[in-house]
A and B are shown apart, each in its own frame.
Chain A
């Protein structure tokens, strides 16, 4: 089935895949070809893509997403997200450092705007860190 990962900056992914694992507001779901038509909300977190049937877990491709809408029809998936980063582009140590900085910012925020910005940064970097960790975990297997 075809997967399209669409962000406001353009289409990030447009390819044939076998399985998609995504966290939705009602729990984690795995989508295989022939899944019933479904529209649901994705929560910030990781999505995993298995390209071919029988690919082992260490070949999963990960993306960090910032929440969005998942639309599944008979043989296509469209994921509409605000932001998506490829797992390979995320460096774990950097994410960890960025998360620490964001938490520091949140603690020292002076006004509402700074606090909001810091909150967003914390959310963003914790998702990225999670994806980096997931990737490392799977690669090791």
Chain B
């Protein structure tokens, strides 16, 4: 049995680890609350854009717009959203798994693909593999991204799609459902979809200035942007809740470990005392004879 000294120092080290994981859990929890709010806040924007698109569809042929054109998919652009930092449970591994599945299916179907990696973990992975071309890497996005980071991604995506370099754009991200449930999802943002389910919110006799085509262009661009933005926000909320959970598990494990080690230490100490007692009484016996 290990000596009490050794066990004691192990307990100390596990305790300080627990302190760190506990702190990380608390930080992740407060960040999660904030990013959850942000993920919900963009809903009115998306709804308004959808309603506008719906109203426009009554005036002009939406499917002729360059962002809506469906072509046979020969080259695909994948936008992978992962995190900059690790220690977030299975957040990054699940996303990368979903991403490699897509790469494999493209490989089988003979579709070329290029990638935009968001987050350090994604870019590290993408730079190691040969199956894809890297179109862009974005790291260190702030927790509450504003429109500016998005715009550079959005602009390059739009140029690639309208010029015909890529025929489809998919976003791979983690959808935030609730604190304990997140799902990896793949969403096609281009060619833009048209959803006729949305209730109309725009007057049907509205005048479009300067022209329906130009307004449609503005709406479609923003709708695609909103989708990518939502994916970014959902990814953030998922990351923080997964990190919180992972750190909670780590703290719990550390507590269990400390309990076991304390038990072992007490046993070792008791063993040592018993042995000393036995030795003393043996010595007394020897003297009495």
Query: Which residues from chain A sit less than 8 Å from chain B, CB to CB?
Result: 4, 6-11, 24-26, 36-41, 66, 68-69, 71-74, 78, 80, 82-83, 113, 116-117, 120, 124
Choice from B42, B148, B219, B226 contacting A120 with Cβ under 8 Å: B148
Q: B197-212: contact bitstring with A at CB < 8 Å (1 yes, 0 no)?
A: 0000011011111100
In the complex, what residue of chain A is closest to B47 when comparing beta carbons?
Answer: A6
In the complex, what residue of chain B is closest to A11 when comparing beta carbons?
Answer: B44
Evaluate contact between A82 and B207: CB separation under 8 angstroms.
no
| Contact status of A7 and B148, CB under 8 A, knowing A26-B209, A37-B206 | no
Which B residues lie within 8 Å of A82 (CB)?
Answer: 147, 150-151, 222, 225
| Contact status of A80 and B38, CB under 8 A, knowing A37-B205, A39-B209 | no
Q: B226-265: contact bitstring with A at CB < 8 Å (1 yes, 0 no)?
A: 1001000000000000000000000000000000000000
Which A residues lie within 8 Å of B41 (CB)?
Answer: 8-11
Which A residues lie within 8 Å of B214 (CB)?
Answer: 25, 41
Q: How far is the CB of B114 from chain A (nearest CB, A)?
A: 16
Evaluate contact between B206 and A8: CB separation under 8 angstroms.
no
B183 on the A face (CB < 8 A): no
In the complex, what residue of chain B is closest to A29 when comparing beta carbons?
Answer: B209
Q: How far is the CB of A103 from chain B (nearest CB, A)?
A: 17
Identify 20 new A-B residue pairs, CB closer than 8 A, beyond the known A37-B206, A38-B209.
Answer: A4-B44, A6-B48, A8-B42, A8-B45, A9-B38, A9-B42, A9-B144, A9-B146, A10-B42, A26-B209, A39-B52, A39-B55, A39-B202, A41-B214, A69-B218, A71-B52, A73-B203, A80-B49, A82-B151, A117-B152
B268 on the A face (CB < 8 A): no
* Closest A-B pairs by Cβ, 10 of them: A10-B41, A37-B206, A37-B203, A82-B147, A40-B209, A73-B203, A83-B147, A8-B42, A38-B207, A8-B45
Which B residues lie within 8 Å of A39 (CB)?
Answer: 52, 55, 202, 206-209, 215
Evaluate contact between B48 and A124: CB separation under 8 angstroms.
no
Choice from B147, B152, B215 contacting A8 with Cβ under 8 Å: B147
Interface residues on B, range: 20 to 34
Q: How many A-B residue pairs have CB under 8 A?
A: 98
Which A residues lie within 8 Å of B55 (CB)?
Answer: 39
Q: How far is the CB of B131 from chain A (nearest CB, A)?
A: 24
In the complex, what residue of chain A is closest to B230 when comparing beta carbons?
Answer: A8
Which A residues lie within 8 Å of B203 (CB)?
Answer: 37, 73-74
Q: How far is the CB of A13 from chain B (nearest CB, A)?
A: 12
Evaluate contact between B45 and A80: CB separation under 8 angstroms.
yes
Some 24 contacts from A to B, beta carbons below 8 A apart, are A6-B45, A8-B150, A9-B146, A10-B38, A24-B209, A38-B206, A38-B207, A39-B52, A39-B202, A39-B215, A40-B209, A69-B52, A71-B48, A71-B206, A73-B202, A73-B203, A74-B203, A80-B49, A80-B52, A82-B147, A83-B148, A113-B152, A116-B155, A120-B152
Evaluate contact between A41 and B152: CB separation under 8 angstroms.
no
Interface residues of B in 157-181 (CB under 8 A from A): none
| A7, A26, A39, A113 — most chain B CB neighbours (10 Å) | A39
Docked Cα-Cα span, A30 to B5, in Å, equals: 81
Q: How far is the CB of A117 from chain B (nearest CB, A)?
A: 7
Interface residues of B in 137-155 (CB under 8 A from A): 144, 146-148, 150-152, 155
| Contact status of A41 and B210, CB under 8 A, knowing A71-B202, A80-B48, A80-B49 | yes
| A10, A41, A82, A83 — most chain B CB neighbours (10 Å) | A82
| Contact status of A37 and B207, CB under 8 A, knowing A7-B45, A8-B229, A71-B48 | yes
Docked Cα-Cα span, A74 to B150, in Å, equals: 33
Q: How far is the CB of A99 from chain B (nearest CB, A)?
A: 15
Docked Cα-Cα span, A71 to B200, in Å, equals: 13
Which A residues lie within 8 Å of B215 (CB)?
Answer: 39-41, 69
Evaluate contact between B209 and A116: CB separation under 8 angstroms.
no
Docked Cα-Cα span, A92 to B228, in Å, equals: 33
Q: How far is the CB of B156 from chain A (nearest CB, A)?
A: 9
In the complex, what residue of chain A is closest to B41 when comparing beta carbons?
Answer: A10
